[in-house]
Amino acid sequence: MKSTIWIFSLEPISTRYTEQWHSHVPLLLKNKLGDRFNVVQIDGVQKNSQLTPGAFLNFSDTNYWKSAQMCAFLEQHNQGKTSPNDHFIFTDAWNPTVIQLKYMSDLLGFNWTLHGLWHAGSYDPQDFLGRLVGDKPWVRHAEKSFFHAIDHNYFATDFHIELFCEELLGCIVGLRENHDNNKIVRTGWPMEYMPDTLSMYKGMKKRDLVLFPHRIAPEKQVEIFRDLKEHLPQYEFVICQEQQLTKNEYHNLLGESKLVFSANLQETLGISWYEGVLVDAIPMVPDRLSYSEMAFDTFKYPSEWTESFDSYTVYRKEICFKIIQYMENYEKFLPSLNKQVDVLTENFFSCDNLLKMLK
């Protein structure tokens, strides 16, 4: 009898990449590992597609989804469809059912292997949990418990690994050991579908359009973008989330834009700027967070320029000048942009290391 890979999915939200993950991740694993494993995705029950304002998901309904996931899995288990050597992939490691599964595995004497993909948490002071909950004991101990219950913890960037270890585990001591025994694994996210998905938007006629593709949340500093619009009236500035766009409409805007702008204070990967470069939109990102290791120097600006709105006002002239250079010399940046695409695709948006762990 084959062992099974059980995927505990994120809720598929049409305006988020989670909708693509919902179909792509099971198919990817079946294509790559189907000769060795059964692959079964466990879904919850989606009660409401409306997101909590500025957030990645609905803070209430995500608990309904996760609780329903556990019930759905227990039905499978009680029907004898599990085996002692199964694997479990949590596409978001911040899932309380991690503890429930580890409880079952240890008490029943199974050898279940848990894999978890970390996106954010209270250990990031700019994340919702970091800002609203902070370092309360319940959340910090919960996240540590998830980490220790999960056999292989995956992070998309070294920046995220360092942040996690320093802020949650208390120090960098033991980081190398965790790497060596695969407790911590750096891997790109399962987004191999993105180049093909966005290929139809590449080559669209560009216009003098600057996009803000991020959530409207404090850590994204949208007020800086609004101010730039007032100081650069010769260009069109669009905040995507204000438009209530469908995925297709959003991708069309990306295809028509020359520049994607970020002043983010929180970013452990950055999907929207990858979407942008895939359709030849120049990224303008701060030299901090995950951007520092991912972006070419050509597309980065000094971090202090946008560390706060006050800091931005000091460097507004320099930022405006840099935007003008990108916009007026757009064609000159395309060779570097094509090389940037290759680096991002190979190192940060394909999950080869996750697949190696499963093999």
Structure tokens at 138: 């319940």
Residue 115: beta bridge partners?
Answer: 89, 152
Residue 195 Cα distances to 141, 213, 279, 305, 317, angstroms: 39, 18, 9, 32, 35
The whole-number average pLDDT for the span 152-168 is 94
Whole-angstrom Cα distance, residue 263 to residue 224?
8
The CA distances from residue 217 to 11, 89, 173, 180, 351, in Å, are 21, 29, 33, 37, 28
User: What pLDDT sits at residue 47?
Assistant: 78
Q: What is the pLDDT of residue 299?
A: 98
Q: How many CA atoms lie within 13 A of 47 on its CB side?
A: 13
Answer yes or no: are the C-beta atoms of 208 and 235 closer than 8 Å.
yes
Does 359 score more than 90 pLDDT?
no
30: pLDDT strictly greater than 80: yes
- Can you give the pLDDT at residue 107? 97
Q: Does domain 3-192+350-358 have CATH number 3.40.1030.10?
A: no
Please, which pLDDT band fits residue 128 given cuts at 50, 70 and 90?
confident
CB 348 within 8 A of CB 294: yes
Nearest Cα to Cα of residue 5 among 29, 31, 22: 29
The segment(s) of the chain belonging to CATH 3.40.50.2000 are: 3-192+350-358, 194-347
> Tell me, what DSSP letter sits at residue 173?
T
d(CA 39, CA 321): 52
pLDDT at 57 over 70: no
Decide: 62 and 114 in contact? Cβ < 8 Å.
Answer: no
Both structure tokens of 2: 């084959």
Mean pLDDT confidence for 113-141? 93
Q: What is the pLDDT of residue 179?
A: 59
| pLDDT score at 298 | 98
If pLDDT is split at 50, 70 and 90, which confidence band does 176 have?
A: low
**pLDDT for 220-273, tens place per residue?**
999 999 999 999 999 999 999 999 898 899 999 999 999 999 999 999 999 999
Can you tell me the mean pLDDT for 179-187? 85
Q: pTM here?
A: 0.92
Distance, in Å, from the CA atom of 256 to the CA atom of 281, rounded to the nearest integer, reads 8
* Position with higher pLDDT, 2 vs 297: 297
Confidence of residue 54 (pLDDT cuts 50, 70, 90): very low
Radius of gyration for the chain, computed over Cα atoms and rounded to the nearest angstrom? 21
CATH topology of domain 194-347: Rossmann fold (3.40.50)
pLDDT for the residue 264? 97
- 166 and 328 in contact (C-beta within 8 Å)? no
